[in-house]
Structure 1
Amino acid sequence: MSPIRIIILLLALVAAGGAALLVSRMSQPQIVTETVTRDLTVIEKEQVSEVKVLTTSRDLAIGEQIKADDLKWAVWPEKGTVEGQFIETAAPGAIEDIAGAIVKLPMFKSEPIMPQRIVKRGEAGLLPVLMGQDMRAVSVEISPESASGGFILPNDRVDLILTYEQTPTATNGLRDSRTVSQTILQNVRVLAIDQAYASGSPEETARLGNTATLEVTPSEAELVALSQRKGRLTLALRPLDEMAISAPRKPRLGLNGGDDEGGAVMIIRNSQPTLTAMGGN
């Protein structure tokens, strides 16, 4: 075989092998390798600043007197505080300062204390918070002699006794003037003695004052006002077991000075008290 034929044969074999290799590569699936590079962002946790805010330790109703045990410091996010809240770093003595205040608006347990929801002693607006619904506050002059020697304290309950001079008229049949005492109201709550709304320390057993503020109904307020013009009022302290709020009371003395129920009154003649029916001689 000539050299030229050998060369042509080799070239043909190489071409055939190349064609076979090409066909083999084309028959296999194409694998594409994709490299994805992601930027990993490291998020650092933000440090939340916290403070201690004064909150309630229980539900507080309108008119309740706040005690130190009703208050507690609670951890609070600094960004969650609002103006007016009591923060421990700014007001470390807030518990002692607020203890004794009266609840003006109801508060729930763990609710932050706000100045608008309480009334401190001596502040305006405290007395209406202490009063019951549809009640009135009326003040009467007192002295140690007319107020059980000063042993009557706020939140005590008393009877009101009117002492006045009854003069002869054409209708009462009296020959001479006489001094008459009659209980006009019973079971009346004392709101304050002078400007004191609470009895103060537990050891306090007496408080001398010039004025007693009483909680009465509107009609009773009229009766008290008339009685103060008619004579002298005396407060009689009721025992502890009779201080519970009873059924609606009926004044024992009408606005005209009569006794609708014909009850007896104490009449003093020559310094000697005698029990006599109203309208009797």
Structure 2
Amino acid sequence: MSGGDPPPPPTVVKVEAPAAPTTDVLVAAAELPMGQVLQPADLRWQKWPDDALTPGYITRKDVPKALEETAGATTRSAFLSGEPIRPQKLVRPDSGFMAAILPAGMRAVAIVTDSRGTNSAGGFILPNDRVDVIRTFRDEENSKSTGSDVQVSQTILTDVRVLAVGQLIQEKNGTNVVTGETATLALTPGQAEKITLAQKVGSLSLALRSLADSGRPPEAEAAPQEAALTVMRFGVSRQQTR
């Protein structure tokens, strides 16, 4: 190298940073709704950074057979795809699902509606929705005095959480037929007594509440208007206040 040549550039040696240690964590293989009975295909192992581990996660090194052992459990709440599976959000096969999701001090009560959706917001009420319960019954006293069929509707419970919805199926002429729908509600003991009596002396309907109204205290709601009577005369209905 002659005296006038510049020195060669320094050699740059790339050193890769060591990989962060990871641990296999049991996660949801896809989105899982509340109440789903888990199958092995619903779960998978995923590498998780050790510095992001939480004591509630299920790891392969602690529970090698967790994927097989977790199958058969029921989800207490929904999981996102890739979300770690935590035992606190599962119901074991030997435990009751409804009892597990029912808040302390509450009672689960099932009510029956018809199968056409007219008593359940067109069939669009789903678990975890909030509803008002409306009782409809025949006013015997007014029916006798007016000579007409007088029906009364009144809201007996407000802002009630729906735990589950289902169908009543009966066998008729060798065929399974849907004869009604059920909705299981989370109620206080006093509400449970009230709705049980109401179902004996009338029919019950559910009115779906807006998410914006859910959880509002009773005093924040508008004052109810006077109860209205629906008078049926010669096949024509009309509203009148008491």
> TM-score, normalised on structure 1?
0.48
* 1:193 alignment partner, one of 148, 165, 177: 165
> Judging changes above 3 Å, is the alpha-carbon distance between structure 1 residues 223 and 174 closer, same or farther for their aligned structure 2 residues?
farther
TM-superposed deviation, 1:138? 0.7
> Judging changes above 3 Å, is the alpha-carbon distance between structure 1 residues 121 and 194 closer, same or farther for their aligned structure 2 residues?
farther
Which one has the bigger helix percentage? 1
| Match of residue 165 from structure 1 | 138
- In structure 1, stretches of 5+ residues that fail to align are 1-49, 57-62, 77-84, 104-110, 196-207, 250-260
| Match of residue 76 from structure 2 | 102
Which one has the bigger strand percentage? 2
Work out the percentage of aligned pairs sharing the same amino acid.
Answer: 34
Q: Is the 8 A contact 2:109 2:184 kept in 1?
A: yes
Distance 2:108 2:150 in 1: 32
* 1:212 alignment partner, one of 175, 183, 188: 183
Q: Is the 8 A contact 1:98 1:120 kept in 2?
A: no
TM-superposed deviation, 1:131? 2.4
What secondary structure does 2:239 align onto? Answer: strand
Q: Is the 8 A contact 1:119 1:126 kept in 2?
A: no
Distance 2:69 2:211 in 1: 34
What secondary structure does 1:210 align onto? Answer: strand
| Match of residue 103 from structure 2 | 132
TM-superposed deviation, 1:232? 0.7
> Judging changes above 3 Å, is the alpha-carbon distance between structure 1 residues 222 and 149 closer, same or farther for their aligned structure 2 residues?
same
Letter in 1 for 2:105: D
What secondary structure does 2:164 align onto? Answer: strand
Q: Which moved more, 1:155-164 or 1:120-129?
A: 120-129
Larger radius of gyration: 1
What secondary structure does 2:100 align onto? Answer: helix
Distance 1:54 1:100 in 2: 15
- Supply the RMSD in Å over aligned alpha carbons: 4.4
What secondary structure does 2:212 align onto? Answer: helix
TM-superposed deviation, 1:51? 7.2
1:272 paired with 2:237, answer yes
Q: Is the 8 A contact 1:182 1:266 kept in 2?
A: no
Map 1:194-273; keep pairs closer than 5 Å. Answer: 194=166, 210-242=181-213, 244-247=214-217, 263-270=226-233, 271-273=236-238
